[in-house]
Amino acid sequence: MVRQLSQRNTITIPAKVLKEIGSKPGDLFEIENDGTRIILIPKTIEDKFTELEWKKLGKIAKEKGKLYKNAEDAKKHMKVLINEV
């Protein structure tokens, strides 16, 4: 199967090929180059935080605030709070 590279550096992947790998519009792909080939690898995005981490952050957000003199002290305290939950 041959496709032409457009002036805007795009290549259309046939719907049949995408269907065979279970891909649909909006899906993400990692692009790799092995020197002679361009390789497309289907990818999914994972949340930065797990559900447990979100719960911990939610608990911290509900607590009464505390003021710190500098960012480093605040970061240290946040680490302690996250480890306590």
pLDDT digits 0-9 by tens, 16-64: 999 999 999 999 999 999 999 999 999 988 878 888 998 988 888 888 7
Average pLDDT of the segment spanning 80-85: 82
Query: Are 40 and 29 spatial neighbours (Cβ–Cβ below 8 Å)?
Result: yes
- Give the model's confidence band at 85: pLDDT under 50 very low, under 70 low, under 90 confident, else very high: low
Give the pair of three-digit tokens for residue 54: 């979100």
The whole model's pTM is what?
A: 0.50
Domain ranges of the chain: 1-45, 51-84
CA 39, CA 28: separation in Å to the nearest integer?
Answer: 13
Give the pair of three-digit tokens for residue 9: 């550096």
CA 63, CA 28: separation in Å to the nearest integer?
Answer: 38
Give the pair of three-digit tokens for residue 53: 């981490």
Q: Which CATH number does 1-45 carry?
A: 2.10.260
Average pLDDT of the segment spanning 61-73: 83
- Cα 42 to its chain centre, rounded Å, is 13
